[in-house]
Structures are given as structure tokens and as C-alpha cells.
Amino acid sequence: MVHQMLYRALVSTKWLADSVRVGKLGPSLRVLDASWYSPGTRQAHKEYLERHVPGASFFDIEKCRDTASPYEMMLPSEQGFADYVGRLGISNDTHVVVYDGDDLGTFYAPRVWWMFRVFGHRTVSVLNGGFRNWLKEGHPVTSEPSNPEPAVFKASLDRTLLKTYEQVLENLKSRRFQLVDSRSQGRYLGTEPEPDAVGLEPGHIRGALNMPFTEFLTPDGFEKTPEELRAMFEAKKVDLTKPLIATCRKGVTACHIALAAYLCGKPDVAVYDGSWCEWFRRSSPETRVSQWKA
């Protein structure tokens, strides 16, 4: 286990509501709505324009990514990320709070939390309970757009928190890292299809364990306690004192594993950014496990 002072990964709705009320939002505290929904369902930006946390900016994950990649949600370049978040008024001295509007409570926010961390920014938190509980508890919302003053952000890629296809492939032999997949059991096993996917069969990387990300959340949409999370890792025989790679379909819900481990005191979980989307298209069949019958 890495022993170091960990920045608070979660802030409460009450804490954020109090910060909004006393006017703390500004260059030192920025809020981001990182909502994203499958095409043909909800419209994240439209919902943001209708109502959001006062002072929040919209973080468009479709724009803050490597749009040239054939895979789904790959990281942008250092400069691309720096330019994007700088336009949102975020500097290296800003505390960033991220939320999304998913019915689960939290879905995409941990991805943005991890993105900031992988680009060297440590003062970033997820709003525990998300916009779902912000609304449920009656905190204020607004339709007023946020127009923060642009800031200068310098990004520095922390490669210890990021794994590539080649590194995961090498790990199949060396087994230096534990590998954990955050998708549902059906998609992991290959008994259920990958949603909204063309030419992508379900299944998992050989040797990966399965911890569905939804199980890290309570029915009310809050993150489970560190004690509960530790028990979950222990039940899956995941050793938090040893190196760990998180994977999923496109590097999004894998970040829930990184967040859960962080809350247990382990800040060094790496995410395989390409995840199953890349692995299925690049790997040889013997490195994949699936019960899928086309």
C-alpha cells in the first residue's frame, strides 16, 4: 500500500451546497457536470442547460478525448486536456468537484476524477450522491450558463496511473498486476451483449476478475463506506497491497474501481484506457474469455 496524504476523493452535497451559498465558487473551486448518456436516450448538454449546480460548467467528455482514436473514450493529449480545462477556468491551484446526473447517482464523474489525476492534478473530488441526491435534498439549481475566466492549466501525464494494450498484454505473462473488470457479470462472462456496440462481442481479458461498478454504490446512489469497499475487495481476493489494473469496456466504469480503492487508501490503481473495446479488436482469441454465442 502506498502511504501518503490522500486528497479527499468525495465531497458531500451539504459541503458543496454550503460552498455555493457562501460564494466560494471561483478560481479556487470549480464544479463540473460530467454527464453523458447513450445516444438516443437522455441529452446531457440539454439537461445541463435546463438545470445544474449553480456555477457549474459542462465537461463534455466527447470533446475532451482523442477524437482520432478508433476506440471509444481514449485520453486526449496533455496539451489537449490542459487547453480544455483551462477554458473552464481551472488552473493547477483549483479544487475541482465533479458530478453527473445519472440515475445511479454516479457514472461518468469518476472518469473525469481519474482524468485530472492522470494529468497530474490531485485536488479533485467526486460529489458523493451526484446530481440525483442534490435534487432530492432540495439544493439550488440554475439554468444560468457558467462563464468562468479562462485559466492556465499545465498537464503532466502520470504514466503510473495509465496502462496501454502492450502493458496489459505483457502482464498476461508476468502477472505483476491484478486485473479487475468493472462491467456487469453478464457482459464479463459473455452471456449478455455489449450495449450499443457494433462488432464488439462481450467477454473479458483472460485472468481478469469481475467487480461490477454498480456494487460500489448504495441503492440511494452514494459510495459505500471504506469498510464495506475493503470487504468487497477481500471477498473477490483482490489484494490492495499489490499492483492493480482496472478495466471495463472503454475506460469509464473502470475508474469506479480506482475510486473505490482510493477510498480504501490505495491511490495507485492504473486504468487500462482502451479496455475491452481495444482488447477485443487487437488481441488474439486465446487472450479472451467469453461464453458468447453469436
Give the burial string for 265-291 (b: 16+ CB within 10 Å, else e). ebbebbbbbbbbbbbbeebeeeebbbe
Asked, for residue 273, whether it belongs to a domain, the answer is: yes
Same domain, 99 and 189: no
Does residue 3 lie within any of the structural domains?
A: no
Three-state DSSP class for residue 162: strand
Judge if 131 and 181 occupy the same domain: no
Instruction: Give the active site residues.
Output: 248
Please indicate, yes or no, whether residues 98 and 166 belong to a single structural domain of this protein: no
Burial of 213 (0-12, 13-18, 19+ CB in 10 A): buried
How many domains are there within the chain? 2
76: in domain = yes
Using the 3D structure, point to which of 79, 104, 137 is the last residue of a domain.
137
Cell numbers linked to 247: 478495466
pTM (predicted TM-score): 0.96
Residue 192, H or E segment: none
* Spatial distance between the Cα atoms of 159 and 161, rounded to a whole number of angstroms: 5
Instruction: Specify if 170 maps to a domain.
Output: yes
CA distance 129 to 113: 15
68 and 112 in a single domain? The answer is: yes
One domain, residues 270 and 182: yes
**Res. 1: pLDDT tops 80:** no
**With contact defined as beta carbons under 8 Å apart, do 205 and 287 qualify?**
yes
Q: Are residues 209 and 121 in the same domain?
A: no
The pLDDT value recorded for residue 109 is 98
Regarding whether 252 and 170 lie in a shared domain, the answer is yes
| pLDDT, tens only, 75-110 | 999 999 999 999 999 999 999 999 999 999 999 999
Full domain range(s) for residue 243: 162-289
Residue 115 sits in the same domain as residue 185: no
Same domain, 130 and 184: no
**All cell numbers assigned to 34:** 460530467
Tell me the C-alpha to C-alpha distance, in Å, between residue 88 and each of 137, 153, 158, 290.
27, 10, 22, 42
Query: Does 153 reside within a domain?
Result: no
For residues 132 and 105, what is the distance between their CA atoms, to the nearest angstrom?
Answer: 6
The CATH number for 264's domain is: 3.40.250.10
For residue 168, what are the contacts with CB-CB under 8 A and spacing of at least 6?
179, 205, 245, 247, 272, 279
Q: What is the pLDDT of residues 237-291, one digit of tens each?
A: 999 999 999 999 999 999 999 999 999 999 999 999 999 999 999 999 999 999 9
Q: What is the pLDDT of residues 21-73, one digit of tens each?
A: 999 999 999 999 999 998 889 999 999 999 999 999 999 999 999 999 999 89
Per-residue pLDDT at 196: 86
Instruction: Pinpoint the alpha helices (H) of the chain.
Output: 13-21, 44-50, 78-87, 109-118, 130-136, 165-174, 185-189, 226-235, 254-263, 275-282
* 239 within domain boundaries: yes
Tell me the pLDDT tens digit for each residue of 184-219: 999 999 999 999 888 999 999 999 999 999 999 999
Q: Is residue 21 part of a domain?
A: yes
- The answer to whether the Cα torsion of 51, 139, 18, 8 is positive or negative is negative
User: End of a domain among 75, 104, 137?
Assistant: 137
